[in-house]
DNA sequence: TCTGGGGTCCTAGGACCC
DNA sequence: TCTGGGGTCCTAGGACCC
């Protein structure tokens, strides 16, 4: 038996915790670079703001309707997420933190009425963190997600909690659910399913499984089984180690100069190395890529370069050097670059890598240097020590015009109260 | 002027092994 | 007249998630 707890309009709710005057007012949160809408309060949804809408297209409307706009503040959202997850973890022997705002709970074997068990969870999370959540309960993850969606739509007699098994005519409900509201089914598959006469969740539940397996593969087969109440997607308690690490950004403005892009790439390589070390991993491969904007009417260009290290490493200096080397190979002047990134596509656990027969580098020294670097940056602020090529330019940095303070993670940005 | 940033899994096909 | 059986690894592309 699964429950899924899902924070309502999570990013918008995080902003509201620290500005309660915004309760009941329309709020939107923008993606990095203040590009697209990625979260909306219910009031903003009611005004017709679409998920993913480019901000510059709705800016006028937002002003006109007095919608409160925020840049993404991931320091805040990440910290608030941890608080919510910590509370939830007290209510089940096993949980799976599925995303920044969602968590599966294993309720297998619980004797109590599950709805009565979960209603207080919502209350406590709200009281202790300020974040409103909804809970869906079902024998499979897929059905739990559907129950959660129905709860959010106000279709439960118990407020924000809905147990799938308490629904009298589940098939009638299923018939009213669109295909792309099902977890794992998006636009392409919706179109493909409609072509073979399947138009809603009930039809998919009753469809011929082996036929669907042939046409769509095992992923679709699992979805159909799960709709039928047969659990195929297990709870994954331990986060599995990362298989790749990507650091990339759109630039705050289009860049044409090599040194501007180089500064960005140096930063991405440094960040990637930091992520590697935090996860105690190394990489033997680095890919650096650059691209112009697909929306740009100017000539388009995109390219990448992949470099190999002699031995797996997480040394920032080596990654920065490789990224700069790769950039030199692919950079062409005359283009308006919009985005760049550094990808580490295959990772190793630190210490298990194959070293080179001829490697004479003192790896102990390298490790000590990186530890000193990380310690200093931790103690004295994130960017106390940086690589020189990052200082060539700041023009790549993203726009964040509407960012709220990092209330919970930066002592300098604590909330102030006037009496 | 202005359109995000991370990830994962599966499959088919080709190359290769004994 | 007739030419096996059982595998692995890698890659690209396509789909999906939040």
Q: Strand A161-163 relative to strand A133-138: parallel, antiparallel, unpaired?
A: parallel
In sequence order, what DSSP letters do the residues of A297-308 get, joined into one string? SSPP-EEEEEEE
Q: Helix A218-227 crosses helix A209-216 at what angle (to 10 degrees)?
A: 150
Strand C contact with A96 (CB < 7 A): no
Residues 6 or more apart whose CB falls under 8 angstroms from that of A311 comprise A284, A353, A354, A355, A356, A359
Give the span between the Cα atoms of A42 and A261, in whole angstroms: 39
Instruction: Report the half-sphere exposure of A226 (CA within 13 A, side-chain side).
Output: 24
Answer whether residue A360 shows pLDDT above 70. Answer: no
Strand B contact with A52 (CB < 7 A): yes
Rounded to whole angstroms, the distance from the CA of residue A219 to the C1' of nucleotide C14 is 13
Strand C contact with A189 (CB < 7 A): yes
Strand C contact with A152 (CB < 7 A): no
Q: Tell me the per-residue pLDDT of A309-341, one tens digit each, with 9 for 90 and over.
A: 888 899 999 999 999 999 999 999 999 999 999
Q: pTM (2 decimals)?
A: 0.93
Q: Tell me the per-residue pLDDT of A285-307, one tens digit each, with 9 for 90 and over.
A: 999 999 999 898 899 899 999 99
Average pLDDT over residues A404-419: 91
Specify the pLDDT at position A147.
Answer: 98
């Amino acid at each position: 038996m699964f429950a899924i707890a899902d924070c309502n309009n999570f990013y918008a709710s995080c902003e509201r915790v620290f500005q309660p005057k915004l309760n009941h007012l329309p709020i939107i949160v923008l993606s990095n670079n203040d590009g697209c809408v990625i979260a909306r309060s219910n009031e903003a949804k009611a005004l017709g703001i679409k998920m993913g809408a480019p901000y510059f297209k709705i800016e006028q409307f937002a002003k006109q309707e007095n919608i409160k706009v925020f840049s993404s503040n991931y320091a805040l959202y990440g910290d608030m997420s941890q608080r919510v997850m910590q509370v939830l973890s007290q209510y089940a022997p096993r949980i799976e933190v599925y995303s920044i705002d969602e968590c599966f709970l294993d309720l297998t074997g619980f004797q109590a009425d599950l709805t009565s068990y979960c209603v207080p969870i919502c209350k406590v999370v709200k009281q202790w963190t300020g974040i409103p959540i909804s809970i869906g309960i079902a024998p499979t993850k897929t059905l739990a997600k559907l129950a959660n969606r129905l709860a959010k739509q106000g279709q439960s007699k118990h407020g924000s909690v809905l147990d799938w098994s308490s629904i009298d005519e589940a098939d009638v409900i299923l018939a009213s659910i669109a295909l792309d509201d099902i977890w794992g089914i998006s636009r392409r598959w919706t179109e493909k399913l409609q072509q073979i006469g399947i138009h809603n969740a009930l039809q998919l539940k009753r469809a011929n499984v082996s036929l669907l397996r042939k046409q769509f593969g095992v992923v679709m087969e699992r979805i159909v089984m799960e709709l039928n109440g047969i659990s195929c997607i297990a709870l994954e308690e331990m986060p599995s180690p990362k298989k790749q690490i990507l650091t990339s950004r759109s630039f705050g403005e289009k860049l044409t100069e090599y040194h501007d892009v180089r500064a960005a790439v140096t930063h991405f390589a440094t960040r990637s190395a930091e992520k590697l070390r935090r996860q105690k991993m190394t990489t033997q491969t680095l890919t650096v890529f650059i691209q112009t904007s697909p929306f740009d009417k100017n000539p388009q260009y995109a390219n990448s370069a992949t470099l190999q290290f002699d031995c797996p490493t997480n040394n920032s200096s080596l990654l920065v050097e490789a990224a700069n080397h790769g950039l030199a190979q692919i950079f062409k002047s005359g283009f308006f670059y919009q985005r760049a990134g550094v990808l580490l596509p295959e990772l190793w656990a630190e210490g298990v890598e194959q070293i080179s027969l001829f490697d004479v580098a003192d790896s102990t020294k390298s490790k000590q240097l990186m530890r000193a670097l990380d310690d200093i940056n931790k103690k004295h602020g994130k960017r106390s020590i940086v690589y020189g090529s990052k200082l060539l330019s700041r023009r790549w940095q993203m726009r964040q015009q509407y960012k709220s303070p990092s209330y919970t993670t930066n002592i300098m940005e604590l909330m102030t109260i006037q009496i």
